[in-house]
Amino acid sequence: MRQVYFDNAATSHPKPPTVVQAINEYFNTIGVSPGRGGYRLGLEAGRKLLAAREVIADFFNCPDPAKVVFTMNITYAINFVLRGVLKKGDHVVTSSIEHNSVARPLEALKKSGIIDYTTVKADGDGFINPDKIRKALKTNTKLIVLNHASNVFGSLQPAEEIGGIAGDHGLLYLLDTAQTAGSIPIDMKRLNLSFLAFTGHKGLFGPPGVGGLCIDMDDETVLEPFILGGTGSKSHLLEQPEAFPDRLESGTPNTPGIMGLTAGFEFIKRTGLEKIRQHEMDLLKHFIAGCNDLSEIEIYGARDLSRQTPCVSLNIKNMDGGQLSFILDQVYGIMTRSGLHCAPWAHETMGTFPGGTVRFSFGWFNTHEEINYTLTALKEIIND
């Protein structure tokens, strides 16, 4: 059976061949870990890691490559910030469209009596109104944390305007770029971000198991490390090194993953971010136009495609989403994701809780022929 992969919002697939080559090359030519020995190969691994930080800092306009910290994924990067900067009595402003990687740590910090947070409700199309963010601020607000785009409905948030609010009030600002890095231009300075959290395995075309945090703030010492251990530096001290990236990077890094991720960034630069965005949005437009011809399909949000990622959620009337996703996979080989997509708040906001939706998310390697095939499949399922 043919395979059509429309779950790029979960993990992009396939990867550019150069990503796989970069991982192979690391094993074939280096294979050892950086910062763990003074021999030549170890130093070469260290140089590669530094070069990776430079590529990423340049891509996101992060002023200092040493402040590009590698983590396992964006969930770790977000936890590093929430657990690293928030102290007893702090208040956080977030939105009702967040992923559990933000919602759960915030709720845990609240339950343990450390912080309080306000959830600004997104509108019926999944957008956050910056004025509501402003109104939610309190005298003890320390941080605004938001996703750049919803992983369920694809709504792209006014991150720059909200960055202005953070700047006006001297607040820290953390952006979850899981759904946008690699397909929407992101400039840390322009958005006034203190923290940009990214994950490698989605739009950045890297392998799973690698992500990171870019930091740009006046006093980074407010960011306490919450995982401590070996860094290959200052081994005589029992205290964690103060300097970045070692302050946050304990334990042996995923160097092969980082090499693959770097090749992913280079692929995007070579191909052109605008070209990637254009192709993905053409696919989305094609798909939505086809769905709009089928009255049984209900699409949530996605009315203004200039404020949308290539991801859309829908249901077929009187049909369970899990069943639809199952038939698409089993009968047609079309891979989608049904349910709550780790974002129950987002579904509550859009009125799709607890049943959820079926999410179609497109990527650079998808084609218009695949969209036509899927629209035919949907018609057949509806008429069955």
Ligand X SMILES: Cc1ncc(COP(=O)(O)O)c(C=O)c1O
Sites of contact with ligand X (CB under 6 A): 10, 73-75, 99, 101, 147, 151, 176, 178-179, 199, 211, 342
- By beta-carbon proximity to ligand X, the closer residue of 98 and 370 is 98
Cα–Cα distance, 114 to 86 (Å, whole number):
8
> Helices marked H in the chain — which ranges?
17-29, 40-60, 74-85, 100-111, 130-136, 159-168, 188-191, 255-271, 273-292, 321-332, 344-350, 368-383
- By beta-carbon proximity to ligand X, the closer residue of 66 and 342 is 342
Q: Are 12 and 203 in contact (CB under 8 A)?
A: yes
Please report how many Cα atoms fall inside a 13 Å half-sphere around the Cα of residue 84, on the Cβ side.
Answer: 23
Q: Are 202 and 45 in contact (CB under 8 A)?
A: no
Cβ at position 285, least distance to ligand X in Å: 22
Residue 349 sits at the vertex; the CA angle it makes with 343 and 352, to the nearest 5 degrees, is 75
- By beta-carbon proximity to ligand X, the closer residue of 281 and 342 is 342
Cα–Cα distance, 381 to 330 (Å, whole number):
12
Q: Which residue is nearest to ligand X (CB)?
A: 151
Residue type, 284: L
Cβ at position 165, least distance to ligand X in Å: 21
- By beta-carbon proximity to ligand X, the closer residue of 94 and 199 is 199
Whether cis (ω within 30° of 0) applies to the bond prior to 354 is yes
- By beta-carbon proximity to ligand X, the closer residue of 10 and 93 is 10
For the chain, state the CA radius of gyration: 21
Q: Are 250 and 228 in contact (CB under 8 A)?
A: yes
- By beta-carbon proximity to ligand X, the closer residue of 86 and 152 is 152
Cβ at position 76, least distance to ligand X in Å: 7
Cβ at position 296, least distance to ligand X in Å: 28
Cβ at position 248, least distance to ligand X in Å: 16
- By beta-carbon proximity to ligand X, the closer residue of 42 and 208 is 208
Cβ at position 283, least distance to ligand X in Å: 19
Cβ at position 106, least distance to ligand X in Å: 13
